Amino acid sequence: MPELAYINGDVMPIDDAVVSVEDRGYQFGDAVYEVIASYGGKMFCVKEHFARLDRSMKELHFPKVQIDEIRRAAIDLFSKAKIERAAVYIQVSRGVSPRNHAFPGKIPVQVVMTVRKIEEKNPPIREMGISTITVEDLRWGRCDIKTVQLLPNVLAKQKALDAGCYDAIFISKDGIVREGSSSNLFILSGGTLITHPLTPDILPGITRSLVLDICREKEYPVQERFFDKRELYEADEVFLTGTITEVLPVVRIDGRAVSNGKVGPAARALQEGLLGRLKSE
């Protein structure tokens, strides 16, 4: 079960993979990406991830790309790796050219992929829930585009780890709760699930969308609206959602217990519903 890399059509062990120093993703963060998880040897939500990758490239005015060719290459690389539980990382940069802020001329995009085994989180983390901190959202104004410009996310995550917590939750300058450092966020308040609406300020998460679908199927009341830190602190439940994260309960925020400080039934039910989707796809 080798962990593999792909660079512009060439497949190799990850340790042998290198890219040019003049790749624009490396020099400018001028690149977009996706991470697809596999379960039982099958990649999950492939169509949705590649639709979002295509949108990200179009939003950044990348040259026309044959998205189906990249999708087929990713599936082929995954099949070669033969890792049942894997994270398939796909990154597309604007290409390799001498360093210049302006877009280069007609050059091909650079496509890089890796397939790595997902190290499963210690089971108690989902059973016990996680602790988080809140941080000011200093990210750029187009968080809906999945770019590799992740330094504010990295700094927020590290700040959380340094504080003995698992993750950080972004709060806007005017007090609106956004999302986690690498995940979307939901709260349960008075029997209603609430999450930030789709705006340029958050990522349109694939798992977020699945969770909303599950809520509609189960007829759980849902609101996509803005909410502040007070509502976050006073919520009955809080949880993060993401491709690798799945549904991850938050039981402490800024040192305060969420409700009784224990994982709640909504998070458990939605995680079960999500796993049911994984098995049925």
Residue with token string 């993750």: 167
Both structure tokens of 264 = 């709640």
Catalytic residue among 64, 80, 146, 157: 146
Residue among 159, 22, 14 at smallest CA distance from 80: 14
Annotated active-site residue 159? The verdict is no
CB contact at 8 A, 124 and 159:
no
Taking the C-alpha atoms of residue 107 and residue 111, their distance in angstroms, rounded to an integer, is 13
Find residue 184's DSSP bridge partners: 241
Which sequence positions are flagged as catalytic? Answer: 146
